[in-house]
Copies of this chain bind each other. A is one copy, B any other.
Amino acid sequence: MNAYSERIKNLKPSAIREIFKHTADPAVIPFAAGNPSPEAFPAEKLAAISADIFREEPVTALQYAVSEGYPKLREWVKEDLTQKDIFKAGDDDVIITAGAQQVMELATKVLCNEGEAIICENPSFIGSLNSFRSYNAKLVGVDIDEQGMLPEKLEAALKANPRTAFIYTIPNFHNPTGITTSLQRRKDILSLAYKYNVMIVEDNPYSELRFSGLDIPSVKSMDKKGHVIYAGTFSKTIAPGLRVGYMCAPEGIVQKSIAALQCSTVHTNILAQMIAYRFMTGVNLEEYLEELRLIYKRKCNLMLNSLKFAFPTAVKFTEPEGGLFIWGTLPYSSDGDSAGFCKKAIQHKVAVIPGSAFSIKEGEKTLSFRLNFSTPTDEQIERGVEILAKCF
């Protein structure tokens, strides 16, 4: 007798996971994952920090902790975000979460009644979309171009959905497309949020991984009216296995999120929070991040150059200024969808994700597909692209 709840009965595991099953095979070239580069993990440093913690403050690392997060890490995040004009003392607060994904889950839980709309870039990150779906939200997609969401389409979506809980955006090196929302478009999104009195959830996991172009102010930094919930993470700057991220938002929303997190995970793994704090304060951060960016820049350029060399110009690829992903688009296919191409690729031992996995409407056809350049080795990038080109 399993009568699943309405909110969960249609929730499927991420389509990406199906692809992941193939990637367990070491012969498969991993262009499918969203994993940071394992060669960039500061494993030795983390091992030393972990040993220090167990020697110096074992009980703190092992006993129950407060739900809002390890106080020192929370203060560090507040200071870091103050410098970026994101945290506004007196208005905002911070909660440490098990990665930025939990911020999406908490924001939905706190703000969105079942059946209310969440407006997203189309396509968007499947993890977040499934988080919204898991609360029975109505997903509304807004088309994007190389500058981000189209403001007139966003306004139409807001007009058509008076019961909108929030607008969800990934403005930097968007997952899956790699696109960065321009300054003007960020301002447009914010004014529309004010005009229609809705919140914005700004998901910014990759901001420290900008390897070309200039930083653009975050939507949260431009907000003067408490309309933005900001999500950050240590998954890309340290390591995702730690599961440490954070929400910075108006105080009331953070307080409700603390109450919600308290009756779910109780608190985020405390050893991981202590490791994150000691790491961020113990390294020369600018130097460390610069090294990280160089790794990503090299890998991205290698993949882009390989793609340009191997594919005809009719196949389009985005040119990200940071992050982990390139978005390819085929000029045609027999069924108007990239799934056949991706299937052929996996048969030839290259894993890529069909674009439909990121569609707001589940199963919607698209000629696009997502490529990850951070996980594969340089050799895998070159060989994988050659194979892909042959599949096309």
Contacts and interface: CB of A to CB of B under 8 A. Distances in A.
A258 B13 contact: yes
Interface string A44-70: 001100110011001111111111000
B102 A63 contact: no
Contacts of A3: 111
Count of identical protomers in the assembly: 2
A38 interface: yes
Contact of A243 (B59, B101, B130, B266): B266
Contact of A38 (B59, B128, B256): B59
A46 B62 contact: yes
A8 to B, nearest CB: 5
A17 B262 CA distance: 10
B51 A55 contact: no
Interface in A104-130: 104-105, 109-114, 127-128, 130
Interface residues of A, number: 86
Contacts of A267: 243
A260 B8 contact: yes
A265 B266 CA distance: 12
A226 B252 CA distance: 41
Contacts of A54: 43, 46-47, 50
A201 interface: no
Interface in A254-307: 255-256, 258-260, 262-272
Contacts of A311: none
Given A63-B38, A263-B104, A113 B239 contact: no
A113 to B, nearest CB: 5
A3 B162 CA distance: 13
Contact of A269 (B2, B6, B62, B242): B242
Contact of A62 (B41, B110, B111, B131): B41
A324 to B, nearest CB: 12
A14 interface: yes
A2 B62 contact: no
A58 to B, nearest CB: 4
Contact of A50 (B51, B109, B269, B270): B51
A308 interface: no
A227 interface: yes
Contact of A64 (B35, B62, B264): B35
A241 B63 contact: yes
A114 B135 CA distance: 11
10 contacts: A3-B111, A5-B112, A8-B256, A8-B260, A14-B263, A41-B63, A50-B51, A130-B262, A241-B270, A269-B272
